[in-house]
Chains A and B, each alone.
Chain A
Amino acid sequence: MRSVRLFLWGLVILFAAVFALFALQLSRPKDDLVRSALIGKPVPEFALKPAVGTHPGLSTADLRDGQPKLLNVFASWCVPCAAEAPQLAALEQQGADIVAIAIRDRPEDVSAFLDRYGDPFSRIGADDVSKVQLALGSSGVPETFVVDGQGIIRYQHIGELHDKDVAILLEQLREAGA
């Protein structure tokens, strides 16, 4: 009988702990955007094969060559990715080095996508099962990361790029290079 009573008081304490947790969370403001936990941290180790014959693949070493870069996560089947093509083109024209990861894609589809919407990318790695995407803390397409020359992630943009984001990303790139 003593063990039953002990078990019950254990339950009461557990309940009190859950209650305290709920109360604490209720009293806090809520932020729903899921940021990557890797901002300020190095890019995880990966080496992706080329997504398309015309471009080399992408590995962690490529992101540590001393030059800050934009890392664009996209897919040929993703319509917002096509919508941000002009913004990426503008970034490239203003000197940004843009590398990319194609998610769950096929070479012929990627190639057709680049023909149609323009090709701002210097490298494109193929992430067939979203493994690298998940390791990066990216939860959808498109997303754009700013990575400094040492391979540290500095900034994350979630969703497609709009005109106003071009200046923000250029500023982030400049800071990452400084």
Chain B
Amino acid sequence: MIANFGLAALWLAAALAALQCLAGFAALRGEGQALAGVVRPVAVVQGALCIAAFAALLLAFVWSDLSVALVAQNSHSAKPLIFKLAGAWGNHEGSMLMWVSIMAVAGGLIALVERRLPEPTILATLGAQAFVGLGFYAFLLFSSNPFERLDPAPAQGMGLNPLLQDVGLAFHPPTLYLGYVGLSVAFSFAVGALLTRQVTPEFARVMRPWVLGAWIFLTIGITAGSYWAYYELGWGGWWFWDPVENASLMPWLAGTALLHSASVLASRDALRAWTIVLGVIAFSMSMVGTFLVRSGILTSVHAFAVDPERGTFILALLAIYIGGALALFAVRAGTVAEGERFALMSREGALVVNNVALSAILGIVLLGTLYPLVTEALGFRVSVGPPYFNPVSAVFAIPMLLVLTVGPLLRWRRDRFERVRGPVILIGIVLVAVLAAVAFFYGIGLLPMLGIALAAGIAVASFMPLRGRSLRRLPLPVWGMAISHFGIAVALFGMAADSAFTQERLIAAGVGQATEVGPWQVRLDSVRPVAGPNWTAIEGRLLAQYQGGAVYELTPQARSFWAPAQETNESALLTRWNGQLYAVLGEEAEDGRWQLRVWWKPFVTFIWYGGLLIALGGVLALIGRVTGDLRRRFARRKIAARHVDAMA
């Protein structure tokens, strides 16, 4: 019943998307003017119907309605409620429905609140948004129907992949989707602005909160995904340059560049064409990411959603939307007038360096991700890993981070070095002093050494733009910038410290046996069976002593899930302010000894603290932008009201 309702809502929403698309584009021509009035209401209703369809799917999962094929394949009545809900989007069909729903809701929001741009631009934007949505509706309804029924219904469901039965992962996909799909809004705005030839600072100001929102979710999604991979996979690493990790990193890189170039366009009316290009590229990276995850052409830990037929469908959508948008832009390029000019030594100049470097890193990651496909097409197989990605992206990341220390201090349009000489010298001294100290005291690799020094320099530099200003009256977006940049310093320090100072110990240990790793002494105290809601496990009890001081307990588990049957390793983490002790219990040998892997990872947590700080900065900037807009709207309304009073 609930499934029928959901499917009906989805079909209706698809029909409305078709109407929204036709009416939105028709309104751009003289004869279609009559349709202009329907576009906004239709967009709102389409969003509401999608919410209804998604709610229906959630309910089917909560009630364990096993007559729905998707529920039967991904859920089990014994599963905790949170994972029943997560089951709704922890699979291909459900996540696609979530994707479409977020897109439709975003379209509805634009239709409801956005009044700053000329009406034709908004109509074209909503038309484009519906056009992109239509492809995904077709995908859902013709090839990936989440509401497909089973008759007769099975007695029990098959359960959710145990690796996905984790609170962190319950929220990882939705967060990333919000980011991916948020970028579709930037894409639609770019197409709308291009179609109506309205690439203006106002367009950038309208697009910016959407990009910012998408970017915040991507940042949180990547940070959470990295932490999930770190503790759930039990490999002790936090980033593997896995194709699917790259697939989430590439939209983030493009989104970061877009955010900065949109700032230039909003404040200074420069970088018009470039901002549009980035809008298209950012969304195309989201789609490439979706394609790579679901087509299975690359081997990855995320291969859960693999199916060549889906791949073909997404590839076709990719060709239509991105190929179409790029071609449209190439044809229209002449109509985008050149923006304002600026000197290299200026805020814009620094932001251009940021954009070029981010784009270069994006290109490097894209090349490294696709290179195995290229060689495979030529008949030999390679895999590309850290030896390529780390140094090659560092070549561009290091200059970019150096410019990041100075850029925010510069004035728009033109500046003199003399004006910022003091802070630059201070930052330089910090950087060189830390570099020298690290080089003197620790024999570590060049990249980690540079990383630690740069982190110190950026940490100091990030708060330089606040000097001499009243902290109470400082606009929120400036706070946001400072905190995000500081977050980069924190994350960078964590990455460098982890790669330079991590210590690892691998042993087959009997009960009672002790081993040392870094400042820790770790003893396998006991091994006992434990039972969970839908798994049983062998749990090791480790007693860890830090530098001969207090004793802590860690309990890594080797879990066996029974629905579906699968083994996983639950690592145990012990967090101190200065790092994490990480333990994994492996298999048992015949003689009762256990495979045990223990790492001491100094300051590794800073990586994720930094990621969260970066996102927090984005949140502050977003709040600042939105409240600023509301305040202006309110003031305008007041003036208008006063005007009416005066007339009366």
Contact = CB atoms under 8 A, between A and B. Distances in A.
B318 A9 contact: no
Nearest to B372: A25
Nearest to A85: B590
Given A22-B297, A26-B311, A37-B380, A4 B333 contact: yes
A48 to B, nearest CB: 18
B29 to A, nearest CB: 25
Interface in B578-597: 586-591, 595-597
A26 B281 CA distance: 22
Contact of B295 (A1, A9, A22, A75): A22
A144 interface: no
B370 interface: yes
Interface stretch (A11-19, A53-61, A170-178): A11-19
A61 B109 CA distance: 71
| Residue among B326, B327, B591 with most chain A CB within 10 A | B326
A164 interface: no
B189 interface: no
Given A8-B277, A11-B326, A77-B595, A82 B296 contact: no
Interface string A138-161: 000000000000000000000000
A82 B590 contact: yes
B374 interface: yes
Contact of B323 (A9, A16, A30, A35): A16
Contacts of A7: 277
Contact of A79 (B291, B326, B336, B508): B508
* Interface SS majority for chain A: helix
A87 B506 CA distance: 25
Nearest to B507: A77
B338 interface: yes
B330 A9 contact: yes
Given A79-B508, A79-B587, A23 B277 contact: no
B589 A79 contact: yes
Contacts of A12: 323, 326-327, 330
B381 interface: yes
B424 interface: no
Given A11-B277, A77-B595, A22 B330 contact: no
Contact of A19 (B315, B333, B374): B315
B319 interface: yes
B376 interface: yes
Nearest to A26: B311
A34 to B, nearest CB: 7
Interface string A85-105: 000000000000000000010
A167 interface: no
Given A21-B374, A22-B315, A82-B589, A109 B297 contact: no
| Residue among B588, B591, B595 with most chain A CB within 10 A | B595
Contact of B595 (A35, A37, A79): A79
| Residue among A11, A19, A75 with most chain B CB within 10 A | A11
B277 A19 contact: no
A77 B381 contact: no
A77 B506 contact: yes
A79 B308 contact: no
A79 B586 contact: yes
A25 B383 contact: no
B295 A26 contact: yes
Contact of A116 (B295, B381, B383, B591): B591
B380 A26 contact: no
Nearest to A21: B373
A41 to B, nearest CB: 12
A168 interface: no
B471 interface: no
B377 interface: yes
B600 interface: no
Interface in B228-267: none
Contacts of A21: 370, 373-374, 377
A113 B318 CA distance: 54
Contact of A25 (B329, B373, B595): B373
Nearest to A105: B506
Given A12-B326, A15-B323, A19-B318, A1 B508 contact: no
Contacts of B588: 79
B564 to A, nearest CB: 20
Interface in A21-75: 21-26, 30, 32, 34-35, 37, 75
Interface string B285-315: 0001001000111010000000010011001
A49 B634 CA distance: 78
B273 A4 contact: yes
11 contacts: A1-B333, A4-B333, A4-B336, A8-B329, A8-B333, A18-B288, A25-B297, A26-B297, A79-B589, A80-B587, A82-B589
The 3 tightest CB contacts between A and B, nearest first, are: A8-B330, A79-B587, A25-B297
Given A79-B589, A104-B506, 16 more contacts: A8-B326, A8-B329, A12-B323, A15-B284, A19-B323, A21-B370, A21-B374, A22-B295, A25-B377, A30-B296, A76-B508, A77-B508, A79-B508, A82-B590, A109-B508, A116-B591
Interface of B: 273, 277, 281, 284, 288, 291, 295-297, 299, 308, 311-312, 315, 318-319, 322-323, 326-327, 329-330, 333-334, 336, 338, 370, 373-374, 376-377, 380-383, 506-508, 586-591, 595-597
